[in-house]
């Protein structure tokens, strides 16, 4: 069963509402959009340019529309931790904020299940012209150009921009049945 997704303008409105409700307006601006190509990843947050970019898997949330709001909230906590403390990952600050937001588990009600294995690939090289992307463990040592825009040689007209991935979450059990018990914000 698939559902219509909220449009990207609606996602920004949702972001604004959550920002007001849980972050006192202090979550940094994020550009939120769907990525049709994600098939085994529900969401991705990257920095390296302002605003931060949150991408959501269209495929995943068509099947699990109920998970969208909590997923966005989860990503916003990352963005907030990063903007305020340059903190990434699921550390103490993240957990405290998460509880304030009424999310019960980082791993979305998985209880004591093994923590979600986060991807070890932390860098995206991306061609802004054709949107070619490749994920890497390490940033490249030398400037790289897009192998699709010019197959033959390095071409400075088509540089690959480097973005660091704050989070790359696998679709499936990470977001499955996300219905975190929302207790309402602790103020």
Contact residues for Zn ion, defined by CB under 5 A:
127, 129-130, 132, 146, 148-149, 167
| 12-30 as b/e: b if 16+ CB within 10 A | bebbeebbeebbeeebbeb
Q: Minimum distance between the CB of residue 145 and Zn ion, rounded to whole angstroms?
A: 8
Whole-number minimum distance, CB 127 to Zn ion, in Å?
Answer: 3
In the bound state with Zn ion, the residue whose beta carbon lies nearer, of 37 and 148, is 148
- Comparing CB distances to Zn ion, the nearer of 58 and 149 is 149
Helix axes 8-23, 68-85, angle to 10 degrees: 60
Question: Does the annotation count 75 as an active-site position?
Answer: yes
Closer residue to Zn ion, CB minimum distance, 96 or 129: 129
44: three-class secondary structure by DSSP:
strand
CA atoms within 13 A on the CB side of 129: 12
Distance CA 106, CA 114 (A): 11
Residue 164, token pair as written in the block: 């660091």
Q: Between 29 and 128, whose beta carbon lies closer to Zn ion?
A: 128
> Distance from first CA to last CA of the chain, Å, rounded?
38
Query: CB 51 → Zn ion: shortest distance, Å?
Result: 18
Dihedral angle computed from the Cα positions of residues 92, 106, 52 and 157, in that order, rounded to the nearest 10 degrees: 110
Check 8, 21, 70, 75 and give the catalytic one: 75
Residues catalogued as catalytic: 75
């Amino acid at each position: 069963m698939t559902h219509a997704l909220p449009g990207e303008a609606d996602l920004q409105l949702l972001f604004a509402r959550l920002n007001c409700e849980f972050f006192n307006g202090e979550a940094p601006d994020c550009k939120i959009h769907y990525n049709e190509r994600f098939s085994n990843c529900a969401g991705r947050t990257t920095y390296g340019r302002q605003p931060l970019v949150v991408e959501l898997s269209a495929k995943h949330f068509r099947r699990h529309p109920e998970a969208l709001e909590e997923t966005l909230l989860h990503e916003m906590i990352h963005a907030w931790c990063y903007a305020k403390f340059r903190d990434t990952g699921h550390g103490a600050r993240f957990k405290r904020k998460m509880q304030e937001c009424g999310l019960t588990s980082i791993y979305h009600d998985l209880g004591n299940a093994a923590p979600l294995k986060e991807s070890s690939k932390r860098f995206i090289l991306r061609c802004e012209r054709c949107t070619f992307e490749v994920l890497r463990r390490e940033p490249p040592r030398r400037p790289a150009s897009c192998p699709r825009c010019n197959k033959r040689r390095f071409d400075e007209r088509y540089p690959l921009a480097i973005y660091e991935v704050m989070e790359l979450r696998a679709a499936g059990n990470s977001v499955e049945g996300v219905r975190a018990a929302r207790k309402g914000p602790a103020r």
